[in-house]
Amino acid sequence: MKTAWTASPSRGGPIAARPRCSYGITIAIPVLRFDTHRADFFIMFCPDLDKESSMLKAINFAAAVLIVFAADTVVAQGVGPYAGEQPPVIKALSAEETRDLLEGRGMGLAKAAELNRHPGPMHVLELAGSLGLSEAEKETVNRVFEAMRVEARALGRDIVAVESELDRLFARGSADPAAVGEMTAKIAALQGRLRAVHLNAHLAIRPMLASETIARYDALRGYADNTGGGRVPDTQSHRH
């Protein structure tokens, strides 16, 4: 069995001629690199026709080579094009908390409003059909939601940045009371502003809805009695 390697043509270039076996039987197996999504090499086989095991040897050899290339690709993907888009690892925050901050999600910050007959914009939009909202009403609520999300994302990024800085400070062993006090004060101020953004969005929605609509919203959300005597849903049900 004869084996040859040939490089694939450059991107956008002409198709290169591939070697062929002299007796007309050629096995070409492309080796696809997952980082480029291109076959950078072809393994060419000329099986020995007078040996029954030549085909099996060719297949086994090709499988071994593909495994080697796949392993190399996995290592290369460790620093792939999307590595920079992964959320930072901060020991004080879970991965979910970090994503919630970066995405501007509510994280239960507006419970004081949500559980006291002040619906939130995201859930109002989700229940718009059941609440009987008009297109104009939905557009108005959506504007409130989008404005809230823009502010919340910006503040979330700031919180993640300071938390990351605080984490690095302790990791390096260079933390001191002054630096800790400064950073925790920043985080507390940012968290307060973030909570206000979510609460104010609920405030903006309340005048847009009739009392009957709010009562229907509370029923749909499972708030049997928001005066303190009824069932209060779990934390996950009013994250937004």
pLDDT digit string (tens) for 75-111?
444 444 334 456 678 999 999 999 999 999 999 999 9
pTM: 0.60
**pLDDT at residue 224 above 80?**
no
CB under 8 Å to 134, separation ≥6 — which residues?
none
Q: Does the pLDDT value for residue 47 go beyond 90?
A: no
Pairing of strands 2-7, 27-33: unpaired
What's the rounded Cα separation, in Å, for the pair 152 and 169? 26
Ranges of each domain in the chain: 2-77, 87-238
- CA–CA separation, 187 and 211 (whole Å): 37
Is pLDDT larger for residue 198 or for residue 230? 198
What token pair was written down for 202? 């609920």
DSSP 8-state class, residue 47: -
CA atoms within 13 A on the CB side of 91: 7
Strand partners, 28: 44
Q: Which segments of the chain does DSSP mark as H helices, in order? A: 54-77, 95-103, 111-114, 121-126, 128-131, 135-171, 177-205, 211-221
Mean pLDDT across 16-40: 49
Q: How far apart are CA 200 and CA 147, in angstroms?
A: 11
The pLDDT value recorded for residue 229 is 41
Q: From CA 206, how far away is CA 118, in angstroms rounded?
A: 6
Averaged pLDDT, 40-51:
52
The DSSP bridge partners found for residue 46 are 2
Q: Which residues pair with 5 in a beta bridge?
A: 43
The crossing angle, in degrees rounded to 10, of helices 95-103 and 135-171 is: 130
d(CA 61, CA 47): 12
Quickly count: other Cβ atoms within 10 Å of residue 165's Cβ: 14
Residue 238 has pLDDT above 70, yes or no: no
Contact status, residue 108 vs residue 239, Cβ threshold 8 Å: yes
